[in-house]
Structure 1
Amino acid sequence: MNTLSTPIAPIETQDPSMLIAELARSARKAQRVLAAMSSEDRAGALKLAARQMRADAAEILAANAKDIEAGEADGLTKAMLDRLTLDDERLEGIASAVEAVARLPDPVGEVIDEAQRPNGLKLSRVRVPIGTIGIIYESRPNVTADAAALCVRAGNAALLRGGSEAVHSNRAILASLAAGLREGGVPVEAVQLVPTQDRAAVGAMLTASGLIDMIVPRGGKSLVARVQSDARVPVLAHLDGINHTYIHSAADPEMARDIALNAKMRRTGICGAMETLLIDSGFSEAASLVASLIEAGVEVRGNDRIQALDERVIAASANDWDTEYLDAILSVAMVDGFDDATAHIARHSSAHTDVIVTSDEAVAEQFFARVDSAIVMHNASSQFADGGEFGLGAEIGIATGRLHARGPVALEGLTTYKWLVRGSGQARP
């Protein structure tokens, strides 16, 4: 069955506030049905959705090709085009991620803890869905599937607002997913794509308090900053991915080179990419490491001591240490020991992901204790900062705040809890 033969018509004329309110009310109604479904039925519906995506692969890729063509004509950056591009391998990865989410343990109904009071009251905290989740994202058609899968598995409704640069891809993916979910008994309104690219719809989502329970932004700094500034709904987000890798004096040179090259160059446009490299003054292979990065195509911007190692290094400005490049550009500083490195990270990190490379386990443990980021790593590339790599199946985003959820947010992060109190006739004196 070709689920994409009838395109989803955009709605550009309806008042955005009225549109969002209508979509959110229908989502809330569908969410109650979804939350009442068994865990097995929700998982089964996701497996059908993944199967349908594979069946519709040609149509989805054709829709994506339209977005790529338009993006190139509009001058999208290489990083944006990379996030936007789908091929057979990436589409299979998206479908596989939906299946992986279906196989994950269902957090809904999990008893977090239990206690009995001296008066005989029995208390328990139980995980429940949050409700209706609004996801606002740019140039990432995979988010359509990831967000839908995670929300459905955790019993939440999803209201998706993708960027105009991915409009054809998002509509094609959602049409395919919706067909599979519907076959599995999930109400069609449980996962909806806002059918307009009017930017006022974003503002309507951000102020839909009482209709939308949480907003998750996925996109560039300007989008996330706007969401965090204007939202009247709780927000789960990170603003920047200014991620550091610190090469300690006791780092293995070959490991340091491999990790640095991977962290910067595997995919430069993702939020887990390294943006600043700190090299300890006691590391003997600093010049070789910098040369390897430059020869791999990295534009290195360094402080005076790094410039002295290689004439190809460009002088770093004060702004470079606070810049998320999302490109083959890297800020590099030489630091004098552990305290200097961690002080630099404290000043400039966005609390997303920070890494130490060292063979000294005691120093690594100090780094874990000292660095207060959502993800802290030892002897691994920051590109592992991803829900799939953490065994979460997929992620709805990476949160760098300190409340509710932190790091890759998957099923557990899409639940809250309620208290259950079981009595036997107690009345409070």
Structure 2
Amino acid sequence: MSIRTLALQCRDAARAVAALSTDAKDAMLRAMADALERDVDAILAANASDMAAATEKGVGEAMLDRLRLDAGRVAGIAAALREVAALPDPVGQLTRRDVRPNGITVERVRMPLGVIAMIYEARPNVTADAAALCLKAGNGVILRGGSEAIRSNTAIAASLHGALEAAGVPSAALTVVSDLRREAMVELLQLNDVVDLAIPRGGEGLIRFVAEHARVPVIKHYKGVCHLYVDADVDEGLALRLLVDGKVSRPSACNSLETLLVHAAVAASFLPRAVETLHARGVALRGDEASRALCEGVAAAGEDDYDTEHLDLALNLRVVGSLDEAIAHIRRHGSDHTEVIATRDPDAAGRFVAALRSAVVMVNASSRFSDGGELGLGAEIGISTTRLHAYGPMGLEALTIERFVVRGEGQTRNIHG
């Protein structure tokens, strides 16, 4: 079946989704979660085949971590679907209401976008997360995952289709593209008369390819070069906790830390302690001359290192002479994803927040909270670092759009009497 035919079928099915009540959508999502838990053995078997093939191909550990499923991760995916079911439904939400001098009432009301194309790599959890969010927001979704996860994605989608059909929705509302040729992806991205939005999730190369070839609007997030700045007035124990959690807890995540900036006033006390802690956890360190003078086992960092999203147990270090110098570094090397300040000084925190335009700015909290679920959105559809209709982690509201609904009593603009 052609890509265009698949997309047209998804568009038709999306109308059935848009017609569902909130209760019906929520019941459908809960049934999907139950199905994932019921089919966990089949999903894990498919994932084991994907993992074996990826390992044989020499896929890197960061990609393997994203691909890997176990019973706990499947349970987490099911829990995320139930969280989305419990969230308020944005469809039909009245966001503004004004009465004009001529008596007409002007309302702003949320409606579904229509058809969302998800382009992603070795992230089988995205199959369920994207389905849940798109369907709850009244949309259809076309899923084009990477070849490494095709068996996992297909098994997850098969589990979810039963709940769709039980709700009276054609299975095409959740379409998995099995044609993994790049030409097929390009064809999908150019269907601007059918597809309303494309959301790529994966490495910078994939996202740039999608942006360069798409004729449909694209949500872009090229990379996550996230910083922790340790201020002169700081609780060093707190800063160390933020550092370890932000770098070590899941280094392959886009919200993990890539650079540590430390004020010179506390560098001599904080940096050796931080380096010892990170080395004990297997983190490779690169730093500027000032940080290397204070610590052993730190390689020299070039300027390109500060632009790099390592997605691994690697971290850059730099000593800065002031808050302004830290802000200047982030403006030069950051990716508008997530920035963190550790400080006891509310004025410094306020200046940090005001000076940076990143999608998420944290004060004394781990960068790992830069996630839709942690920020109260439920399972996130992606992260936008482009200033379109959505910025930062994207949840349900970002999959709807506001339109005008005007109510009158026969008012006309130019004809009177």
Look up the equivalent residue of 2:179 and give its one-letter code. Answer: T
Q: Is 1:241 the equivalent of 2:224?
A: yes
Q: Residue in 2 aligned with 1:273? A: 256
Alignment partner, residue 332 of structure 2:
347
Within the alignment, does 1:253 sit opposite 2:240 as a pair? no
Q: Secondary structure at the match of 2:250?
A: coil
In the alignment, the residues of structure 1 paired with residue 351 and residue 234 of structure 2 have an alpha-carbon distance, to the nearest angstrom, of 15
Letter in 2 for 1:288: R
1: CA distance, partners of 2:123 / 2:131: 13
Q: Indicate whether 1:167 and 2:150 are aligned.
A: yes
In the TM superposition, residue 186 of structure 1 has moved relative to its aligned partner by 2.3
- How does 1:397-408 map onto structure 2 within 5 Å? 397-408=382-393
Measured in 1, the distance between the counterparts of 2:332 and 2:3 equals 40
1:8 corresponds to: none
1:119-268 superposed matches below 5 A: 119-268=102-251
What is the letter of the counterpart of residue 96 of structure 1?
A: A
Count of paired positions: 412
Are 1:356 and 1:379, in contact at CA under 8 Å, matched by a contact in 2?
A: yes
1:363 alignment partner in structure 2: 348
Q: Deviations over 1:196-254 (max 9, x none)?
A: 11121111121111110000000001000111122110011200100011011111111
Q: Write out aligned runs for 1:35-74 (5 A).
A: 35-74=18-57
* Deviation sequence 1:290-319 (CA, Å, 0-9, x none): 222122211110000011112210000121
Q: Distance in 1 between matches of 2:163 and 2:220?
A: 29
Task: Name the CA distance, whole Å, in 2 between partners of 1:298 and 1:250.
Answer: 26
Mapping of residues 10-89 of structure 1, within 5 Å: 19-89=2-72
Gaps of 5+ in 2: none
Q: 1: distance between equivalents of 2:403 and 2:271?
A: 53
Task: Specify which of 283, 286, 289 is matched with residue 301 of structure 1.
Answer: 286
Question: Given the alignment, which residue of 240, 260, 265 partners 1:282?
Answer: 265
**CA contact under 8 A between 2:117 and 2:195: conserved in structure 1?**
yes
Counterpart in the other structure of 2:405: 420
**Counterpart amino acid of 1:109?**
G
Q: Secondary structure at the match of 1:234?
A: coil
Offset from partner CA, 1:171-214 (integer Å, 9 cap, x none): 00000011122222222111110121112111112111111000
More deviation, 49-58/228-237? 228-237
SS at match of 1:245: strand
- Amino acid in the other structure paired with 1:388: G
Separation of aligned partners in 1, 2:94 and 2:17: 20
SS in 2 for 1:324: coil
What secondary structure does 1:308 align onto? helix
CA distance in 1, matches of 2:243, 2:381: 26
Partner of 2:29, secondary structure, is helix
> Residues of 2 paired with 1:156 and 1:176: CA distance?
19
**Alignment correspondent of 1:377:** 362
Cα shift readout 1:105-162 (whole Å, capped 9, x = no counterpart)? 0000000101111111110010000000000000000000000000000000000000
Inter-partner Cα distance in structure 1 for 2:105 and 2:244:
55
Runs of 4+ aligned residues of structure 1 deviating over 4 Å after TM superposition are: none
Q: Is the 1:224–1:238 contact (alpha carbons within 8 Å) kept by the matching residues of 2?
A: yes
Q: Which amino acid aligns with 1:300?
A: L
Q: Secondary structure at the match of 2:406?
A: strand
SS of alignment partner, residue 122 of structure 2: coil
3-state DSSP class of the match of 2:402?
strand
Distance 1:209 1:202 in 2: 13
- For residues 293 and 76 of structure 2, what CA distance do their matches in structure 1 show? 44
Q: CA deviation at 1:104?
A: 0.5
Please tell me whether the aligned partners of residues 48 and 183 of structure 1 are also in contact (alpha carbons under 8 angstroms): no
Output the CA distance in 2 between the equivalents of 1:359 and 1:75. 46
Contact 2:150 2:178 in 1 (8 A): no
- 1:310 alignment counterpart: 295
C-alpha distance in 2, partners of 1:178/1:356? Answer: 44
- Cα distance in 2 for residues equivalent to 1:201 and 1:411: 28
